[in-house]
Structure 1
Amino acid sequence: MHADTVAVLSAWQAPNAEQESLRQAFLAFLASSPDACRREYAPGHVTASALVLDATGRSTLLTLHPRVGRWLQLGGHCEPEDTGLRAAALREAEEESGIRGLRIDPTPLHLDVHGLTCSGGAPTRHFDVRYLVRAPAGARAVRSAESVDLQWWPVDGLPSNVDSVPRMVELALGTED
């Protein structure tokens, strides 16, 4: 996972200066430890997320996260069986949405670093790599045990306090300023 993440982020063309700065920070963090993708790594770890859009691109699927208490994109920790970062994001999207036939873009959409307390109870940081994922026409989401709620939201009517979801939608739809 570590080598794949370094390769993916080394090749990725960031869409703007802010994302390029984060790309460089991710690469420096990854260079600091071969364990940077393992959830047990206390200083922080790489996670994989998916901004799921419906087939029309007019709605995005968000989860009401039980620990954070806000609507977020789908995603989570990389697992030892994941063949790479992209595979981890797709696995998380399928597990949390219950939707089969999702299509994931080949390169990341967005990067974000945020602090939180993981399931182990210790404060840490997530170095989150986000991918654009498209659902097939007529896809019906099924809430998993990892979510308080799961809902399609119109991209022009997102709930308040959704962190960077609007920014990811702008990048996905090519409407960034």
Structure 2
Amino acid sequence: MRTTHLMSEAFPTRLSATVQQYLSQVAGPREHLSLLRWQMGEGHRLDERTTYPGHLTTSAVILSPDHRQTLLIDHVTIGRWLQPGGHYEPSDHFYLSAQREAEEETGVTGLRLHPWHAGSDRPFVIDSHDVPGKPSRNEPPHVHHDLQYLFIADPALPLIPQLEEVHAAQWQDASMLGEFAPKVVERLRTVASPA
């Protein structure tokens, strides 16, 4: 319990540093992250899924070494193909939360943080987006502030999808990212594949 308390106190400081680094080094001219920054300024507990109007999630954009394929999940609640991810779980680094979600949902092994990150916790994209509520949990429609990280994995390795959370996990053509992650696609154009 003591460790969780210390983590939750450190969380706002780490999130603030991560958002500032993203804004100064990565964000495009129209990315202001206004709602996220307002909630941070108000002291909202963004690490708790019961915080509204929004809270933190992390996700993994997983690419094959040549960047031609991406690993996607067929999301049970949303009903479409997306990158794996979920609500933030306490971790030493935000990318570790994204990695854990990806491994749990897909069974992927051998994930490596993409060299673009240079070993840092700087997100590739921060995307605040509306999500439908979940009446079974008394959740109203709200916002997910999603810290998105790039990973590399071998598409030849077997996958074991977590069927309670996803209908399927599957490698697909990387062009599929354009249907739900346009910022990722745009930014990937400037990133060399490590293959």
TM-score by length of 1: 0.83
Superposed displacement of residue 38, structure 1: 1.2
Report the residue type matching 2:123 in the other structure: P
Residue 115 (structure 1) aligned with residue 130 (structure 2): yes
* CA distance in 2: counterparts of 1:155 and 1:149, whole angstroms: 17
Larger deviation: 26-35 or 68-77? 26-35
* CA distance in 2: counterparts of 1:50 and 1:159, whole angstroms: 12
* CA distance in 2: counterparts of 1:2 and 1:101, whole angstroms: 30
Structure 1 unmatched runs, 5+: none
Report the residue type matching 2:184 in the other structure: M
Report the residue type matching 2:186 in the other structure: E
Give the share of equivalent positions with the same residue, in percent.
31
TM-score by length of 2: 0.76
Please name the residue that 1:65 is paired with: 75
Larger radius of gyration: 2
* CA distance in 2: counterparts of 1:46 and 1:141, whole angstroms: 26
Please name the residue that 2:148 is paired with: 130
Report the residue type matching 1:16 in the other structure: G
Please name the residue that 2:99 is paired with: 90
| Kept after mapping to 2: 8 A contact 1:97/1:143 | yes
* CA distance in 2: counterparts of 1:93 and 1:41, whole angstroms: 23
Q: Per-residue displacement from partner, 1:43-100 (whole Å, max 9, x unpaired)? A: 2101111111012211001111111111111111012x42232221111111112112
Larger deviation: 138-147 or 125-134? 138-147
Residue 168 (structure 1) aligned with residue 187 (structure 2): no
* CA distance in 2: counterparts of 1:133 and 1:139, whole angstroms: 15
* CA distance in 1: counterparts of 2:125 and 2:177, whole angstroms: 20
Give the 4+ runs in structure 1 shifted more than 4 A.
none
| Kept after mapping to 1: 8 A contact 2:53/2:142 | yes
Aligned residue-pair number:
169
Residue 144 (structure 1) aligned with residue 162 (structure 2): yes
Superposed displacement of residue 137, structure 1: 6.1
Structure 2 unmatched runs, 5+: 1-10
* CA distance in 1: counterparts of 2:102 and 2:15, whole angstroms: 18
